[in-house]
Structure 1
Amino acid sequence: MSKAPRATITIGWREWVSLPQLGLDRITAKIDTGARTSALHASNVKVIRHLGDEFVEFIVPGAGHEQLCTAPLLDTRSIKNTGGKTEMRFIIQTSMMLAGRSWPIELSLADRGAMSFDLILGRTAIRRRNLLINPGRSFLASDAIASGDQAKAS
């Protein structure tokens, strides 16, 4: 018996997302299909070891408060920043909730203090998720979730 395909949901160029494993309930993400890797604004990033495993501890600045987060270190990769300069970044994997759905994504940790968005969702995070992006609209999935009307999002 084959699995029925999920309905396609239209999202805007920016959306509210949650990263529950990091304790981040509601952050604005810019959907950026030009970026391959997703990036989360993080400061005071440091590697810690616990029982032989490596973790990354970091602070995610928020509106009015900072969130201390810890996640297993997945990898360290060379990534081009928005200016085209290559830099080494820590990579973590965490779950993300968007449009009433949840799935694992990889995030690079970067200093995005000078940027407008604390979270960039690159194409690998949204690939194969039956999402269409409307570049002229914002918060389409958020509006549909708030009203309980999934059809409004597609």
Structure 2
Amino acid sequence: MADNYQRILVGLDGSTIAQQAFEEAVAVAKRNRAALFIASIVPDNEYASVAVGASMQMIDAETAEAEKRVHEATRYAEEHGVTKVVPIVRVADPRRALAETLPVDYHIDLIMLGITGKGVIQRLLVGSVAQYVSRHATTNVMLVKQRTLQEPVATEEK
């Protein structure tokens, strides 16, 4: 395990858990004075059953949303002390992009992802992105679990 990560990749998909993983990645990047690569991957195979024109419109709309998400995340990271931030938006298979393509293209030494997001049935049929990345990545992977807020127990004062 590396003592000091220098190139951290984090995936954003708009989910709450991905946002939590991103915030954790910002903290790790700041502590390590590392470059932070923020990736939002628009799935290229999700609209296969839709007509070609409609499929392209959906991909274009999702790409615009991904660009907005990455832009906001970039600004947040910079405001929180990360000096080198690289935004990445691609149309691809998210599992392969995060596990294989992007780590090679950008010489990543740590991948950070949130776990969960999809339902049990979908995870069984296609597997989660985090599950695939944790098995196939050639670099270290940190999986961030959903935080739960513990409500304080109400007490009566007498």
Please say which structure displays the higher CA radius of gyration.
Answer: 2
The structure whose RCO (Cα within 8 Å, separation 6+) is larger is 1
TM over 0.5: no
